[in-house]
Amino acid sequence: MAFQPLDPLLHAELRLAVMSLLIAAGEAEFPYIKEQTGATAGNLSVQIDKLSSAGYIKVRKTFKGKRPCTLCRITAKGQKAFAAYVEALKSYLDVKV
């Protein structure tokens, strides 16, 4: 039996947490993601940039009144990559001994 390869971009704990939140919510604001993951703002920004560069999420910067607001939305490519990651992970969990 061969194990399916795991997407290294999604295999990192914080990026997986971000993607999991966005799979459930579709879109979320930066402070919500920060609160839910317990990440620092700097680390979260770096991980969001990596997911955005891969095309897994789309980041939109806007304003709420006079305050900046960063919105993250999962893309179709991100949904597909997440589904493939979950299926690959199942290959590791379904080992018969």
Give the Cα separation of 62 and 46 in Å (integer): 19
Residue 70 lies in a domain: yes
Structural domain range at position 62: 8-92
Residue 39, domain CATH:
1.10.10.10
Give the Cα separation of 67 and 95 in Å (integer): 50
**pLDDT for 15 beyond 70:** yes
Give the pLDDT confidence score for residue 41 in this predicted structure: 96
Residue 97 lies in a domain: no
Give the pLDDT confidence score for residue 93 in this predicted structure: 85
Alpha helices in the chain (DSSP H): 8-11, 13-25, 30-37, 41-53, 76-93
Give the pLDDT confidence score for residue 74 in this predicted structure: 98
Residue 46 lies in a domain: yes
| Cα–Cα separations (whole angstroms), residue 47 to 12, 18, 53, 96 | 9, 9, 10, 35
Model confidence pLDDT, tens digit, residues 52-93? 999 999 999 999 889 999 999 999 999 999 999 999 998 888
Give me the chain's average pLDDT, please.
93
Give the pLDDT confidence score for residue 13 in this predicted structure: 96
Residue 1 lies in a domain: no
Residue 37 lies in a domain: yes
Within 8 A by CB and 6+ apart from 15, the residues are 9, 47, 50, 51
Q: Which two tokens stand for residue 32?
A: 């919500």
Residue 24 lies in a domain: yes
Answer left, alpha or beta for residue 64, where phi above 0 means left and psi between -120 and 50 means alpha. Answer: beta
User: Based on the structure, what is the number of domains in the chain?
Assistant: 1
Residue 45 lies in a domain: yes
**pLDDT for 96 beyond 80:** no
Q: Report which of residues 22 and 2 the model is more confident about.
A: 22
Residue 40 lies in a domain: yes
